[in-house]
Amino acid sequence: MTPTTAVYATGLVKSFGGFRAVDGIDLTVDQGEIYGVLGPNGAGKTTMLKMLATLLPIDAGQASLFGVDVAREPHRIRQLLGVTGQYASVDEDLTATENLWLFGRLQGLRSADARATAKRLLAQFDLEEAANKPIAQFSGGMRRRLDLAASLITRPPLIFLDEPTTGLDPRTRGQMWDTIRDLVAGCTVLLTTQYLDEADQLADRISVIDRGRKVAEGTPDELKSSVGDSTLQLQLAAGADQELAAQVVGRVVGQEPVLTPESARMNVPLDVADDAADVLIALRQAEIPIASVSVAKPTLDEVFLALTGHDTGEGDQETTREHLALEIR
Amino acid sequence: MSTLTFDPTPTTPAATATVDPAAAVARAHARVSPAETVSQTLSMAWRALKKMRRNPEQFFDVTFQPLLFTAMFAYIFGGAISGNVQRYLPLIIPGIVAQTVLTTCMSTGVQLREDMEKGVFDRFKALPIARIAPLAGPMVADLVRYLIAASLTFVVGVIIGYRPHGGPLGVLGAILLAVFTGWAIAWIFTWFGILARSARAVQGYSMMVLFPLTFLSNAFVPVGTLPGGLRTFVKFNPVSHLVSATRDLANHGVLSSEVGWTLLAGLVVIAIFAPLSVRSYKRHL
């Protein structure tokens, strides 16, 4: 840990019953960095964040924020931290202004200052017109923005964003990304996400979490290049020889493709998209019939497969693809 | 979706001023001061009052119950118990004051449970505020409800012919005592609210506790008419003390030992259940 370390954690563990939700995670985040924690549902991202935010007791290991120990000085930690949860944590019965005023007052602002801060934040987050509307009338994106605004009232040096865009439609997601980039600048940000493209868009560094463990860490580019620049997805025709197909593909691209035998699917990592043609020609020459072909950028699923040897365990491929399609467009 | 448009271009540069972590760490203090605790509790009370004003159905129990029960009980039991309604009123009105205030407590627990399930409690937990503030705030706001319940019962009583001999001061004392006791006992239900899995469960437990306590007391009938074992229970039942104290104040204008016992019981309940509630709330995180 150096004087410029914002988050420092070693060997963090959290068990629920016999299940180790977080199983010995080390984490170092530098000041001013946007750090992404990437992983599928249930990987332990939120649990880890909750431990760091004093919302869950730490079972084993040690954590400090800016040198302040999380377990020993929870009240000080809460003053250094803004937390924006997975679900907007604002009061449904109050208006946007009242919400921000209340959170300001609770954190020791005088009434007039709290009102001024609320006004300023609503302007910054483009919520002025909705300032006096009850939250019940807010769209998902507006709620998230208000939630983020509420975390910035005291300008804490560290912001936790837990899956800031999960459940938002693609257009709103993009807007949320812009908001995050603009408004949290100057703070250190620890962000969790299920989407590689989100981590790619926002984070300076990423760690990939799986089943409570860190399986990789690096810049978004480093992670993506570990699975090739893009992926050729092949659906073999019924009755095609999958073994042979894998061998043929392996010879062309120089590494084994990832097989899903049940559905006769094959994902081929490509260093350059151009190699796709060579693979297809080789398969034609070996007389292996193909049902469908597509080329895509690597998804979280593929990064996962490459890193852990198993998939994210979600039937969620559709949504991931959708986001990627948008990103490419 | 709203019709608001969002301009993704960077907004005011003021927002991007860098934050100095070292200064923030130096500023961060280790504990909440008593003054901060009071201010945070009052902010939470403000929130609860706003919510009450926006959901006026929260006032149904404290308005309809005094109106309905006072008239109903007086006319149904008056003749049977005291010979006529007029003579029954000094007995029943303080009884109903106690009963209404206690039922009002129950909804404190139910509402806290409902509230805690909302997302905003996640933020309260993450904020550097006294852990007692989110619990005590709504209770401070609930003082309004106890006040309405107790006062309205006396008003209805007076309308149907109750003449409290304790005078305005005695009645005022009785109302304040009922409000204090209600507030104290509400801590028990607050604790239930934190522990229970659902609002419905809180309601269930609370009914189970409240019904025997209110009916197996001297609130509605003279103790002398009860069989031996029950009479002993009724004597030790704290609700009986509240009822007797209320009678002494409102009917006779006397600060009796019953008033003292009731206040003491209230303080004991707070001393036990307020720390217990805070502890459970911390653990609930």
Give residue-wise pLDDT tens across range A280-312.
Answer: 898 888 888 888 888 877 766 677 777 776 666
Residue with more model confidence, A200 or A7: A7
C-alpha distance from A62 to closest chain B C-alpha (Å): 19
The pLDDT, as a whole number, for residue B119 is 81
For chain B, positions 98-157, list CB contacts with chain A under 8 A: 118-129, 133
C-alpha distance from A11 to closest chain B C-alpha (Å): 22
pLDDT surpasses 50 at B2: no
Average pLDDT in the B171-183 region?
Answer: 94
- Whether B28 is covered by a domain: the verdict is no
Per CB-CB distance under 8 Å, the chain A contacts of B1 are 139
The model's pLDDT over A72-100, given as tens digits with 9 standing for 90+, comes to 999 999 999 999 877 768 888 899 999 99
Q: How far apart are CA B129 and CA A170, in angstroms?
A: 36
Which one of B12, B27, B41, B127 makes the best mutation probe of the A interface by having the most chain A beta carbons within 10 Å? Answer: B127
The pLDDT, as a whole number, for residue B11 is 42
Which one of B38, B118, B120 makes the best mutation probe of the A interface by having the most chain A beta carbons within 10 Å? Answer: B120
Average pLDDT in the A34-41 region?
Answer: 90
Which one of B32, B40, B122, B283 makes the best mutation probe of the A interface by having the most chain A beta carbons within 10 Å? Answer: B122
The pLDDT, as a whole number, for residue A227 is 67
Confidence of residue A104 (pLDDT cuts 50, 70, 90): very high
Q: What is the interface pTM, i.e. ipTM, of the complex?
A: 0.83
Which of B2, B36, B47 minimises the CB distance to A142? B2
Which of A32, A124, A139 minimises the CB distance to B15? A124
The pLDDT, as a whole number, for residue A329 is 33
Round the average pLDDT of chain B to a whole number and report it: 87
C-alpha distance from A277 to closest chain B C-alpha (Å): 39
Q: How far apart are CA B8 and CA B215, in angstroms?
A: 64
The answer to whether the CB atoms of B127 and A123 lie below 8 A apart is no
pLDDT surpasses 60 at B8: no
R_g of chain B computed on alpha carbons: 23
Q: How far apart are CA A277 and CA A292, in angstroms?
A: 14
Contact indicator for B119, B151 with CB cutoff of 8 Å: no
Average pLDDT in the A259-282 region?
Answer: 82
Tally of residues, chain B: 285
Q: From edge to edge, which strands make up the β-sheet containing A265-270?
A: A258-260, A265-270, A230-236, A290-296
- Whether B128 is covered by a domain: the verdict is yes
The pLDDT, as a whole number, for residue B18 is 64
| CA A140 from centroid of its chain's CA atoms | 18
Span of A52-56, B8-12, B22-26 with lowest mean pLDDT: B8-12
Per CB-CB distance under 8 Å, the chain A contacts of B24 are 66, 79-80, 156-157
Contact indicator for A224, A200 with CB cutoff of 8 Å: yes
Q: How far apart are CA B198 and CA B57, in angstroms?
A: 20
Structural domains of chain A ordered from first start: 5-224 (3.40.50.300), 228-328 (3.30.70.100)
The answer to whether the CB atoms of A75 and B30 lie below 8 A apart is yes
pLDDT surpasses 90 at A325: no
Average pLDDT in the B143-165 region?
Answer: 92
Residue with more model confidence, A325 or B41: B41
Residue with more model confidence, A246 or A329: A246
- Whether B115 is covered by a domain: the verdict is yes
Pairing of strands A5-16, A19-30: antiparallel
Identify residue B73 by its one-letter amino acid code.
Answer: F
The answer to whether the CB atoms of B50 and A155 lie below 8 A apart is no
The model's pLDDT over B41-59, given as tens digits with 9 standing for 90+, comes to 999 999 999 998 888 888 8
The pLDDT, as a whole number, for residue A309 is 67
Of all helices (H) and strands (E), which one includes residue B67?
A: helix B60-82
C-alpha distance from B33 to closest chain A C-alpha (Å): 11
Concatenating the DSSP letter of every residue in B74-126 gives HHHHHHHHHSSHHHHHHHHHHHHHHHHHHHHHHHHHHHHHHHHTSTHHHHHHH
The answer to whether the CB atoms of B19 and A78 lie below 8 A apart is no
Q: Which residue of A has its CA nearest to B32?
A: A75
User: Does the pTM of the predicted model rise above 0.90?
Assistant: no
Virtual CA dihedral for B221, B225, B227, B229, nearest 10 degrees? Answer: 50
The answer to whether the CB atoms of A142 and B16 lie below 8 A apart is no
Angle between helices A275-285 and A242-253 in degrees, nearest 10: 140
C-alpha distance from A221 to closest chain B C-alpha (Å): 25
Q: From edge to edge, which strands make up the β-sheet containing A19-30?
A: A19-30, A5-16, A60-65, A68-69
C-alpha distance from A130 to closest chain B C-alpha (Å): 9
Q: Which residue of B has its CA nearest to A184?
A: B16
Instruction: List, in order, residues 6 or more apart from A48 with CB less than 8 Å away.
Output: A12, A14, A22, A25, A27, A37, A192, A209
Identify residue A302 by its one-letter amino acid code.
Answer: E
C-alpha distance from A187 to closest chain B C-alpha (Å): 6
Instruction: List, in order, residues 6 or more apart from B13 with CB less than 8 Å away.
Output: none
pLDDT surpasses 80 at B12: no
Give one word for B253, left, alpha or beta, with left for phi > 0 and alpha for psi -120 to 50.
Answer: left
Question: Judging by beta carbons within 10 Å of its beta carbon (0-12, 13-18, 19+), is residue B201 exposed, middle or buried?
Answer: middle
Residue range of the domain that includes B70: 34-284
The pLDDT, as a whole number, for residue A86 is 74
- Whether B7 is covered by a domain: the verdict is no
Is residue B27 within 8 angstroms of chain A, CB to CB? yes
- Whether B14 is covered by a domain: the verdict is no
Of all helices (H) and strands (E), which one includes residue A162?
A: strand A158-162
Confidence of residue A222 (pLDDT cuts 50, 70, 90): confident
Average pLDDT in the A25-53 region?
Answer: 91
C-alpha distance from B148 to closest chain A C-alpha (Å): 23
For chain B, positions 187-216, list CB contacts with chain A under 8 A: none
- Whether B111 is covered by a domain: the verdict is yes
Which of A68, A134, A186 minimises the CB distance to B16? A186
Confidence of residue A317 (pLDDT cuts 50, 70, 90): very low
Distances (CA, A) of A154 to A23, B114, B224: 33, 28, 64
The answer to whether the CB atoms of A106 and B43 lie below 8 A apart is yes
The model's pLDDT over B55-78, given as tens digits with 9 standing for 90+, comes to 888 888 888 888 888 888 888 888
The pLDDT, as a whole number, for residue A23 is 92
The pLDDT, as a whole number, for residue A225 is 74
pLDDT surpasses 70 at B19: yes
The answer to whether the CB atoms of A108 and B30 lie below 8 A apart is no
Q: How far apart are CA B64 and CA B62, in angstroms?
A: 6
Question: Judging by beta carbons within 10 Å of its beta carbon (0-12, 13-18, 19+), is residue A177 exposed, middle or buried?
Answer: middle
Q: How far apart are CA B61 and CA B148, in angstroms?
A: 10
| CA A148 from centroid of its chain's CA atoms | 16
The model's pLDDT over B258-283, given as tens digits with 9 standing for 90+, comes to 999 999 999 999 999 999 999 999 88
Q: How far apart are CA A266 and CA B109, in angstroms?
A: 57
Which of B15, B27, B129 minimises the CB distance to A183? B15
The pLDDT, as a whole number, for residue B7 is 44
The answer to whether the CB atoms of A93 and B51 lie below 8 A apart is yes
C-alpha distance from B74 to closest chain A C-alpha (Å): 39
For chain B, positions 250-269, list CB contacts with chain A under 8 A: none
Strand residues in chain B grouped as ranges (E): none
Strand-pairing partners, residue A188, are: A158
Comparing CA positions, the residue from A175, A174, A193 lying closest to residue A127 is: A175
Contact indicator for A34, A198 with CB cutoff of 8 Å: no
Comparing CA positions, the residue from A139, A142, A146 lying closest to residue A99 is: A146
Average pLDDT in the A171-175 region?
Answer: 85
Number of domains in chain B: 1
Comparing CA positions, the residue from A143, A134, A90 lying closest to residue B1 is: A143
- Whether B65 is covered by a domain: the verdict is yes
**Two tokens, residue B244:** 């007797």
For chain B, positions 47-106, list CB contacts with chain A under 8 A: 47, 50-51, 54-55
Strand-pairing partners, residue A65, are: A7, A68
Which of B14, B28, B46 minimises the CB distance to A79? B28
The model's pLDDT over B105-121, given as tens digits with 9 standing for 90+, comes to 888 888 888 888 888 88
A and B: number of Cβ contacts within 8 A: 148
- Whether B248 is covered by a domain: the verdict is yes
Contact indicator for A54, A68 with CB cutoff of 8 Å: no
